[in-house]
Amino acid sequence: MKRNYSEFAEDIPPYSGLKAARETHADLKQLSAIPGHIYTRPELQILPGQRRFSKMPWLVPMLELLPPTSIGHLKEWGLSTVFVLAKNYNKLVHVWESVTAMVELWHPQTNMFIFSEFEATILLEELEIMLGLPRYQRGEESEISYTMEQINSWSILAYITTKKNDLYSMTSGMHVHLLPIAQWITSQCKRKTTNYTAIAKAAAICICGVILFPESDGAISFGNLSIIDSNSEGMKIGQAVLGFLYAGLTSAALGGPFYGSIVALELWMGMHIQFRAVENLST
């Protein structure tokens, strides 16, 4: 439903001049004024996410079994970089001290890192380049038709398997477990079946769940399952990945668990920020 400008113009406060705008912006940057922010709570400056992101011993052995045709599908769907990151997942080391330092500077309302002299944030264009995701192009909106329906995880997973026992083992509550999906992939590959597209879709769920949408050990939400599935249909998922990371940073900044693509965050930090160890933490 569209609204005329005049209907909500009265809700917009008048511009009060440059000085007032600067003062308002200065107030907005005060992280200490945000109730419950980790900036003012030293006891929370060990991120709960540290306990939620563990190694996935099943991931790399499963990926090494993928047939070339299935890997080709992953490349067609723009997941080449995600596949490489997942295949080297056991070699990745998350530096939680630097992540915590960044979370302490995160502003939940503006989705910005507030530094003493400037502000910065992770841009969609940067994230798409770093992760090699299909890039969103402005102007494509008019060429896409959307339909909305309730997410049905079983209908998505049915492309992989229709056995009820498998589906029950893959899902619980509002989450999908990645280990049973990886076990199904391993079984298919060892039997040398020709379900190449189904294997690729299952592998996409696993690698995207670990690299792009990590939420808790070995599980993703139904919503993120639907997003991953839409990628193989030609949808761009960079915005969803970035939004999920923003939400995870906000959760951690307010004392909750950290979730989202820690890989993308650390890639961005490596591009823009130089960390130094200091003896005096007060500085």
Tell me the average pLDDT across 226-249. Answer: 92
Residue 59 pLDDT more than 90? Answer: yes
Tell me the average pLDDT across 49-70. Answer: 80
Q: Are strands 112-114 and 219-221 parallel, antiparallel or unpaired?
A: unpaired
Residue 189 pLDDT more than 90? Answer: yes
Q: pLDDT value at position 8? A: 46
Residue 17 pLDDT more than 70? Answer: no
Query: What tens digit of pLDDT does each residue of 128-185 get?
Result: 999 999 887 666 655 555 566 666 777 888 888 878 888 888 888 788 899 999 999 9
Tell me the average pLDDT across 245-263. Answer: 91
Q: pLDDT value at position 51? A: 41
Residue 209 pLDDT more than 50? Answer: yes
Tell me the average pLDDT across 252-279. Answer: 87
On average, the pLDDT of the chain sits at 81
User: What does each C-alpha distance from 237 to 174, 175, 229 come to in angstroms?
Assistant: 20, 19, 10
Greater pLDDT, 237 or 13: 237
Q: pLDDT value at position 255? A: 85
d(CA 213, CA 242): 10
d(CA 267, CA 279): 26
Residue 247 pLDDT more than 80? Answer: yes
Which runs of consecutive H residues, i.e. helices, occur in 158-195? Answer: 164-170, 178-190
Q: What residues are paired with 156 via a beta bridge? A: none
Q: pLDDT value at position 162? A: 79
pTM of the prediction?
0.79
> Token match 């005060």: residue?
30
Greater pLDDT, 85 or 43: 85
Query: What tens digit of pLDDT does each residue of 60-107 get?
Result: 999 999 999 999 999 999 999 999 999 999 888 888 888 888 998 899
For 157, phi then psi, to 5°, come to -70, -20
Greater pLDDT, 136 or 57: 57
**Strongest mean pLDDT among 92-96, 115-119, 175-179, 238-242:** 238-242
d(CA 185, CA 246): 31
Residue 198's pLDDT band, with cuts at 50, 70 and 90, is very high
Residue 274 in 3-state DSSP?
coil
